[in-house]
Structure 1
Amino acid sequence: MALAALSALAATAVFTAPAEATVFDQGISVQPYGHISQDGKVTLSGTYHCSNPSPMGAKLQIAAAVLQDGTRLGFGGGEADCDGEEHAWQATGSLKHTPGVRPGPALAEVQLNEIHFSGLMPRSIDTVAEDRQEIELIDHG
């Protein structure tokens, strides 16, 4: 029984270990407008920069979301290339299961997330840069 308790404690420690601190110059921004395509997809874009690679085993990824009238549509924007240069990013999400998003004012949220792994499983996710702003969704249908 003591061995089972120790194993449970060790497993908990793996998932609650403090994340490594990030001291790198990192930032992300979102354009003041997004697009809704004829085939029912929302696209946001902007720029990001990260000056140094992440700690060993960590990856930087972009996450985006649109909030409008109580509806939230979240989607990924891919992995970041941390070479010290400013890069453009673009992320597209489907309205198939979130039909409440339409042309007009909305809130956009974008994050540059540092994902730390323990083996193949994510151990922790730290937001190292973010931007939130009111945007206009434009219909391109």
Structure 2
Amino acid sequence: MRIPTAFAASRLVLAAACAAAAAIVVATPANSADFGNEISVQEQGRIVEGDSVTLSGTYRCVTPSPSGAVQIQATLVQDGSRLSFGGDEAVCDGEQHQWSATGKLRMTPGVHAGAAGAEARLQSARLTSGVFPPVSVSHLAADRKDVELVAPGR
């Protein structure tokens, strides 16, 4: 069956517009100044007993998630190794809070004391209807910076 050219062209334009809109929504993080959400990562992280690393900082959350859960996600990058790990659930009451997150170094044993990159994100996740994707993640605020990892006794 042959699809009329005008119909096929309009479907192609519609598909391209939907893909562009989805890319913009997914790729554009929320600006913390717009909603009052903010997060920071401290400039020093800790390696604990050689088997885990802890990052910490502060956050303020005023935008509640539709599902009621906002979490802190931390990522550490050093010498080609990348480790992402979660922290506690955030309290969205408009007040400033401390956060910390600890990740195990089992899969990234090369992480060592010294310079590294770190990122912290406030994010909410909710189940969506439909087949793809089943979970929608919204980034409410983020902070990236160079950090110094220190080990006990240094």
| Cα pair distance change 1:58/1:101, threshold 3 Å | same
- The within-5 A match list for 1:77-116 is 77-116=87-126
8 Å Cα contact 1:58/1:116 also seen in 2: no
Match 2:86 to one of 64, 68, 76: 76
> What residue in structure 1 maps to residue 51 of structure 2?
40
**Gapped runs of 5+ residues in structure 1?**
1-15
- The within-5 A match list for 1:1-141 is 24-54=35-65, 56-118=66-128, 123-140=135-152
Once residues 44 and 131 of structure 1 are traced to their aligned partners in structure 2, the CA distance between those partners, rounded to angstroms, is 12
The aligned amino acid for 2:40 is: S
Give the alignment's TM-score, normalised by structure 1.
0.77
Larger Rg: 2
Secondary structure of residue in 1 paired with 2:151:
strand
**Gapped runs of 5+ residues in structure 2?**
1-21
The number of residues matched between the two structures is 122
Give the alignment's TM-score, normalised by structure 2.
0.71
Once residues 50 and 122 of structure 1 are traced to their aligned partners in structure 2, the CA distance between those partners, rounded to angstroms, is 25
The aligned amino acid for 1:57 is: S
For the aligned residues, what is the CA RMSD? 2.3
**Cα deviation code 1:32-87 (max 9, x no counterpart):** 00000115110000000012422x32521100011001100110012110011000
| Cα pair distance change 1:122/1:59, threshold 3 Å | farther
